[in-house]
Amino acid sequence: MSAAPDQSPILSFEDARHLVEEHSSRLHSPVVEDVGLLQSRGRVLAEAVFADRDFPPFPRAARDGYAVRAADLANLPAKLEVVGEIKAGASAEELPIVVEAGKAAAIMTGAPAPAGADAVVMLEYTARTGNIVEITKGIGAGDNIVPIGSEARKGSRLLEVGVKIDQAAIAILASVGKSKVAVYSRAKVAIISTGDEIIPLEDEPGPNQIRNSNSYSIAAQVQEVGAQAAILPIAPDEPTRLRELIEEGLQFDLLLLAGGVSMGKYDLVEHVLAQMGAEFFFQGAQIQPGRPIVFGRVRDKYFFGLPGNPVSTMVTFELFVRPMLEAMMGKSQLKLEFLYARLKSDIKTKTGLKRFLPATLAGEFEHPEVELAHWHGSGDIAATARANCYVVVPPDREHIPAGEWVPVLRR
């Protein structure tokens, strides 16, 4: 069912975000393909991964030191006879060692604990002379030995479908022998920048023209998510050519349009989409920057109309496009999470909109600090390039004093 461009509501940020998440959750799973282990990094896992044996498969020493019977250290210092040495990777044939009462075995981190030993005392609490080791600190049974199967039992689930593969997932996949990994296919995204003032990068801009930075910043964000970006030609402020380019963009999995979604005479995107039978889920969110953000669907293809100002484009992509795009590639967790940092300087602003203001997150260790960038509105890409996050200001706050902990969205 189509709707006129001015009929769908302007939502609160939370309602708009939840609506995108709701539509994202209804998407069908994408196509599955097999890729090499290292090529799977950043992709979304399409198969559950199970332990092919117990982890660890043997009782593993967690420290360099001596494998002992804990009871032998009841009286300190204790002197024990060293009956051998066990290195990591030792085979069964190399492990005839049995630790009996009054005995100890030198052992390396990762090596299998010998029969009879129930603990490993750390090297720094020992002193060895010949085949005698003197131990100066007591230890409990089980200390510094990782039991068989304590990390995972054979057949237990290690990774769920829908996980984005990072270095930790790579380590798990390698540990179970996955040289090939089943992942979901990459979504293909069409990007169209609109406006007579926009020109290609290679052209020399006139006094009132700007180069097409939006298409490239959006493409970079698309690639960062792990999808494939296709930059289509710039759409002029003329409905026929705009419609032709939108038709081309609808051949892709997702269509992103930058510019032409405000209320000006030549902001034609929503009018053209409405003529094509588009359904609009919202035509604005109560945020700054990015208030004119548009979300809808036409011919079973989702689209977003992003504001034309560069900072607005970047912010609305992160807030609304990213969850849809991640869902198109099979990712299961779509909720937005904020960090918190201590504000370095006061913030004074107007109430009514939820604001995502470019800022710099700094500090060290457990003392994060954040300060607003000195920016001049949503067209200031230089200030945004200097920033590494956005401070989130609630719509009911007009003053936040320095020293208060504030929510931060990483960029």
Mean pLDDT (the chain) is 92
pLDDT for 2 equals: 41
261, 262, 267, 209: which is closest to 239 by C-alpha? 267
User: How confident is the model over 272-283, as pLDDT tens digits?
Assistant: 999 999 999 999
CA distance 198 to 231: 14
Parse the chain into domains and list their residue ranges: 13-31+185-328, 34-52+158-184, 60-146, 339-410
Range 60-146 classified under CATH 2.40.50.100: no
DSSP strand E in 279-374: where? 279-283, 287-288, 294-298, 301-306, 339-343, 347-348, 354-364, 367-372
What's the 3-state SS for 267-294? CCHHHHHHHCCCEEEEECECEECCCCCE
Going from the C-alpha of 355 to that of each of 221, 319, 351, 395, 398, the distances in angstroms are: 21, 12, 9, 7, 11
Range 339-410 classified under CATH 3.30.1490.100: no
CA distance 194 to 212: 9
pLDDT for 9 equals: 75
CATH no. of 13-31+185-328: 3.40.980.10
389 within 8 A of 410, measured Cβ to Cβ: yes
* pLDDT tops 80 at residue 92: no
Q: What percentage of the chain exceeds 70 in pLDDT? A: 95
395, 361, 182, 212: which is closest to 291 by C-alpha? 395
User: How confident is the model over 93-141, as pLDDT tens digits?
Assistant: 667 889 999 999 999 999 999 999 999 999 999 999 999 999 999 999 9
* pLDDT tops 90 at residue 251: yes
pLDDT for 94 equals: 64
User: How confident is the model over 293-341, as pLDDT tens digits?
Assistant: 999 999 999 999 999 889 999 999 999 999 999 999 999 877 898 999 9
Range 34-52+158-184 classified under CATH 3.40.50.1390: no
CA distance 48 to 176: 12
